[in-house]
Structure 1
Amino acid sequence: MSPVRRGEKLPIYNRIGVLRAERKMTRAELAETVGINVQSVGALERGDNYPSLDLAFRICAVFDLPVEAVFSRTEFGAMSAELYRRPDLRPEPQSDPGGAR
Structure 2
Amino acid sequence: MENKMVEYRKKFGLSQEKLAEKLGVSRQTIISIEKGKYDPSLPLAFEIAKTFQTTIEHVFIYAGKEGEE
Q: Please confirm whether the aligned pair reaches a TM-score higher than 0.5, indicating the same fold.
A: yes
Give matches, 1:3-82, under 5 Å: 12-74=1-63
Larger-Rg structure: 1
Residue 37 of structure 1, CA deviation: 0.3
CA distance in 1, matches of 2:56, 2:28: 22
Structure 1 unaligned residues grouped into runs of 5+: 1-11, 75-101
TM-score by length of 2: 0.86
Q: What percentage of aligned pairs have identical amino acids?
A: 32
3-state secondary structure, aligned to 2:18:
helix
Listed one character per residue, the Cα deviations across residues 37-74 of structure 1 (whole Å, up to 9, x for unaligned) are: 00110000000100000100010010010110001113
> Structure 1 runs of 4+ off > 4 angstroms?
none
CA distance in 2, matches of 1:34, 1:13: 19
Listed one character per residue, the Cα deviations across residues 19-52 of structure 1 (whole Å, up to 9, x for unaligned) are: 1111111001100101100011000000010000
How many equivalent residue pairs?
Answer: 63
- Which residue identity is paired with 2:22? T
- Which residue identity is paired with 1:66? T
3-state secondary structure, aligned to 1:65:
coil
- Greater RCO, 1 or 2 (C-alpha within 8 Å, sep 6+): 2
